[in-house]
């Protein structure tokens, strides 16, 4: 007699124990909960297979999950502890065989079968909550199955046929319209397996809830204004705004609410922009910048206290070298307090900002940000006139100030060197900057982003930087040539393969390639006089400062340099020579008169000899000291006095 033909016996639940021979070893608690709910609603639909053991106990070889669910129901007092359970009693050998066969041959219910079963129950009058309770599943699970039940018959058929994956079928549930579902289904190739493609077609014209405008306004405010939100039952991240126009209107209203506070601060006008930057071509290139006022005694004392505390904390952190030290949070707080106090000393000139304005926009994270100091083209002349008046008032000079000098606060070239000399000096610095940029990935990335912002937001180029990555024709230093060849050696030769290659590279590799490309785009060679020359020199100064460029490593003043300088510049350079500055003032004057009688070539040779090996640099090649790098202390004052 086989196990299946053995007579069924009713055995008390408290006499049944789990068998160590059951081939299923693990069960999820959620599965047991669902099975218990099903047994409570429908009864035990399948008997257990048991083997007699010591006393009146029986080990359950097949039906371990059902036993666990029954025990749970008894614990919850849904059934009594000695509730009679129908069981097949078999031998040990038969029990192992039945347990193995039952678990291996088990076929899970097809998802569509479950969908149809839930839909049939609801059609008969059951609610979604009733179905969830009877089958021990969540309400969301039932809602998902009912949504699938509401799919177009054509898509259901395609699903059963294998032309639509389960994930794609779930995506079709975003809309209830069968016509819309079928239109999208018809437009897609077979089989339809990518849920994202289905959602994108169904939600064309709608806005994702992750959009910056939606993040700025908030879904709650949008829904309160009558907006409809479409939510995917199967993907919590897939949420869509039905009416993007309403969302944009609410964003505009929210931005407009900030106008009054800016006007109260003295700004001439305030505009809002739903874009991520300024798009109005009526804005001038120039921008106002705040000035720095003197700290009050209280602010100075507080800054000193905060800096001392920060220095002490840095010393302690360096000594301990604990990576996850909680004191790092305290350090961040101190640094933020110092920066807040520093920024409080920035002030705007009220006369100027009355003719300038603020553009309020929304960034990628859905936060409002303000661009201050924007000048309209129609106000540009007024701003220049005010600046000239302020400068005359400050200097007490009634002379007319050149408009270009007022509008362009960049530093002028350091001396009156010939154009050809300035061009060659700036070329030498360009070569050095290109080399250091190729080695400094973070700075190269910052320069690239800055150049892109200039193009996309301000519609201007960052002077001297080819953001389109057009390589400038510069006779580079050999070190850069070697660096370029080593980094670009692995770039594919076929241009069609470039994107795929880039997508496969780690960020470190991409940054290295980017650094070389940015370096190749740099051309800061200039002459003097034109505004573009001043801007290039200013940018070269800034990059030299950031890159800690020491031109003594890349350039030496030789005869080809000295012979091209006017005699006045040669005499000025000579007056700074080490042996010369040690003389008395009278001796210096006599020597200068003597040297001035020499012809230019002789004087150039004398100057070259006097400054040989001193590391002399013309002012144009001297890297500015980075702001904030040094601090004057009382001990420093004492040393300087000595």
Counting every residue, how long is the chain? 642
Name the strand (E) or helix (H) holding 362.
strand 357-362
Whether the Cβ atoms of residue 87 and residue 7 lie closer than 8 Å to each other: no
Q: What share of the chain is helix, strand, coil (3-state, %, to 5)?
A: 55, 10, 35
SS3 readout for 523-584: CCCCCCCCHHHHHHHHHHHHHHHHCCCCHHHCCCCCHHHHCCCCHHHHHHHHCCCHHHHCCC
**Which pairs with CB-CB distance under 8 Å and at least 24 residues apart come from 381-384?**
382/355, 383/286, 383/288, 383/352, 383/355, 383/356
Three-class HEC string of 482-500: HHHHHHHCCCCCCHHHHHH
**Per-residue pLDDT, 404:** 41
Partner residues linked to 462 by β-bridges:
none
CA distance 480 to 437: 10
Q: Which residue has the tokens 């904030």?
A: 628
What is the C-alpha R_g of the chain? 40
Phi, psi values for residue 379, rounded to 5°: -100, 0
The position carrying tokens 């193995």 is: 100
The residues spanned by each domain of the chain are 3-104, 212-251, 263-391, 410-556+620-630, 559-614
Say how many C-beta atoms besides its own lie within 10 A of residue 595's C-beta.
Answer: 19
**Residues lower than pLDDT 50 in the chain:** 1-3, 105, 107, 278-279, 399-414, 456-458, 467, 627-630
Fold of 3-104: 3.90.1530
Three-state DSSP state, 428: helix
Give the separation between CA 119 and CA 113, rounded to whole angstroms. 10
Task: Map residue 386 onto helix, strand or coil.
Answer: helix
Q: What is the pLDDT of residue 145?
A: 83
Angle CA(480)–CA(482)–CA(488) in degrees, nearest 5?
Answer: 95
d(CA 284, CA 404) in angstroms, rounded, equals: 14
Read off the pLDDT of residues 71-101 as tens digits, 9 standing for 90 and up.
999 998 889 999 999 888 888 877 767 776 6
Say how far apart CA 178 and CA 437 lie, in whole Å.
58
Contact, 70 vs 47, CB < 8 A? no
Q: What local confidence, expressed as pLDDT, does residue 13 receive? A: 92
* CA–CA gap between residue 218 and residue 345 (Å, rounded): 35
Q: Are 111 and 166 contacting, i.e. CB atoms less than 8 angstroms apart?
A: yes
Q: In Å, what is the CA distance from 566 to each residue of 1, 570, 601, 631? A: 120, 6, 10, 38
* pLDDT number for residue 70: 92
């Amino acid at each position: 007699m086989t196990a299946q033909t053995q007579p069924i016996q009713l055995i008390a639940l408290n006499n049944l124990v789990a068998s160590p021979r059951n081939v299923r070893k693990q069960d999820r608690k959620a599965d047991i909960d669902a099975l218990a709910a099903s047994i409570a609603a429908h009864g035990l639909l399948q008997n257990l297979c048991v083997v007699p053991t010591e006393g009146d106990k029986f080990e359950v070889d097949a039906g371990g999950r059902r036993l666990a669910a029954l025990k749970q129901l008894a614990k919850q007092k849904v059934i009594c502890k000695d509730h009679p359970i129908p069981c097949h009693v078999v031998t040990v050998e038969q029990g192992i065989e039945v347990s193995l066969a039952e678990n291996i041959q088990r076929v899970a219910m097809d998802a569509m079968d479950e969908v149809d079963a839930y839909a049939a129950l609801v059609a008969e009058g059951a609610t979604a909550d009733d179905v969830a309770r009877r089958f021990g599943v969540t309400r969301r699970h039932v809602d998902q199955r009912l949504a699938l039940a509401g799919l177009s018959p054509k898509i259901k058929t395609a699903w059963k046929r294998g032309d639509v994956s389960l994930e794609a079928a779930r995506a079709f549930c975003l809309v209830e319209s069968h016509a819309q579902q079928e239109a999208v289904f018809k437009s897609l190739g077979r089989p339809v397996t990518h849920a994202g493609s289905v959602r994108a077609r169904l939600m064309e014209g709608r806005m994702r809830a992750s959009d910056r405008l939606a993040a700025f306004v908030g879904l709650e405010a949008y829904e309160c204004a009558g907006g409809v939100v479409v939510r995917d039952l199967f993907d919590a991240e897939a949420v869509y705004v039905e009416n993007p126009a309403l969302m944009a209107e609410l964003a505009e209203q929210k931005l407009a609410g900030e106008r009054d506070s800016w006007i109260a601060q003295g700004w001439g006008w305030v505009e809002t922009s739903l874009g991520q930057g300024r798009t109005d071509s009526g804005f001038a290139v120039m921008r106002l910048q705040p000035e720095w006022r003197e700290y009050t005694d209280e602010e100075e004392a507080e800054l000193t206290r905060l800096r001392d505390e920060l220095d002490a904390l840095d010393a302690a952190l360096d000594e301990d070298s604990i990576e996850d030290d909680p004191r790092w949070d305290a350090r961040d707080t101190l640094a933020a307090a110092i920066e807040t106090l520093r920024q409080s000393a920035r002030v705007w000139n009220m006369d100027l900002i009355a003719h300038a304005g603020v553009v309020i926009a929304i960034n990628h994270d859905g936060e409002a940000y303000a661009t201050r100091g924007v000048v309209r083209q129609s106000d540009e002349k007024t701003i220049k006139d005010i600046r000239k008046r302020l400068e005359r008032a400050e200097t007490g000079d009634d002379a007319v100030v050149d408009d270009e000098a007022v509008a362009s606060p960049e530093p002028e070239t350091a001396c009156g060197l010939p154009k050809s000399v300035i061009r060659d000096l700036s070329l030498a610095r360009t070569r050095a900057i290109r080399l250091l940029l190729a080695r400094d990935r973070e700075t190269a990335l910052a320069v690239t982003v800055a150049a892109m912002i200039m193009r996309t937001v301000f519609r201007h180029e960052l002077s001297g930087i080819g953001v389109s990555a057009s390589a400038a024709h510069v006779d580079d230093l050999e070190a850069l040539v070697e660096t370029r060849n080593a980094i670009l050696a692995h770039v594919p030769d076929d241009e069609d393969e470039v994107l795929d290659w880039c997508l496969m590279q780690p960020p470190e590799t991409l940054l290295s390639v980017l650094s070389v490309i940015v370096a190749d785009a740099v051309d800061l060679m200039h002459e003097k006089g034109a505004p573009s020359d001043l801007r290039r020199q200013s940018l070269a100064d800034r990059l030299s400062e950031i890159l800690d460029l020491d031109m003594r490593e890349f350039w030496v003043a030789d005869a080809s340099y000295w012979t091209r300088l006017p005699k006045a510049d040669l005499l000025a350079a000579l007056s700074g020579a080490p042996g010369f500055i040690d003389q008395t003032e009278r001796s210096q004057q006599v020597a200068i008169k003597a040297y001035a009688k020499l012809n230019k070539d002789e004087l150039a040779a004398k100057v070259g000899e006097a400054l040989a090996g001193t590391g002399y640099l013309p002012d144009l090649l001297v890297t500015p000291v980075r702001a904030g790098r040094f601090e004057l202390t009382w001990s420093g004052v004492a040393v300087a006095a000595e």
